[in-house]
Homo-oligomer: A and B are copies of this chain.
Amino acid sequence: MRIALLGGTGDIGQGLALRWAYDTDHEIVIGSRDPERARTAAEEYETELDSRGLDRKITGFANEMAADRADVVVLAVPPYHVGDTVDAVAEKLDEGTILVSPAVGMRRDDDGLHYNPPPAGSVTQLVADRAPEGVPVVGAFHSLSADRLANLALEFDLDTLLVGDDPDAKSTVRLLAEGIEGLRALDAGPLANAAEVESLTPLSITVGRYNDGLHDLGVRFR
């Protein structure tokens, strides 16, 4: 499968790119608003994989080019860029291309870090509202520590929660997710549940902050 990671130069994009490149045979395309930055990041990821004995081709393009002919487009951009990024690539999305939304709106104040969804109710819902007709949206990969993803020496034993209204798209993203060793994908129901799913991200960061010896936390349901 061809996976485009828009904003793939950022933390979560880097982590997903490295894991998918390392653990699967999917074609990985890095997107950025600046194609030069995308190409540089792709080369860095190749170097990292090479250092682990893996000769792997990763390409970098402007977001629009990266999204072109991708089977799955991951919106690995900050929450306030998600809407613009969907608009920018909308014409390049084929019917059936799956949009994946991992971003979470958070607000830091004196009390700590809080869930701060956009007016749509969740970032995933915002993406669904902006996505072209026929392009299914799946929320996934929200509460995974980017640092833990990017460190290929670390084993995973974590869950990611999937929300979406299109069962086929959700199945595809589940397979993609479980291609990453040790990552279990759990169904969290329809898009309407995205707020509770996204809310787990600031909570995981908070728990890591307040408990000695715990950091870069993820969650396992049991």
- Interface on A for B, CB 8 Å cutoff? 111-112, 114-115, 157-158, 161, 186-190, 192-193, 195-197, 199-200, 202-204, 206-211, 214, 217-222
Contacts and interface: CB of A to CB of B under 8 A. Distances in A.
6 contacts: A111-B193, A115-B199, A186-B211, A189-B209, A199-B199, A219-B221
Nearest to A187: B210
A186 B214 CA distance: 10
A207 to B, nearest CB: 5
Contacts of A206: 188-189, 193, 196
Contact of A220 (B192, B202, B209, B220): B220
A5 B160 CA distance: 35
How many monomers of this chain does the complex have? Answer: 2
What 6 pairs between A and B have smallest CB-CB spacing? A111-B192, A187-B210, A196-B203, A199-B199, A217-B221, A220-B220
A206 to B, nearest CB: 5
A186 to B, nearest CB: 5
Given A186-B207, A196-B206, 6 more contacts: A111-B193, A186-B210, A188-B210, A193-B203, A200-B200, A220-B222
B214 A189 contact: no
Contact of A158 (B111, B211, B222): B222
A115 B195 contact: yes
A50 to B, nearest CB: 30
A72 B204 CA distance: 28
Contacts of A190: 111-112
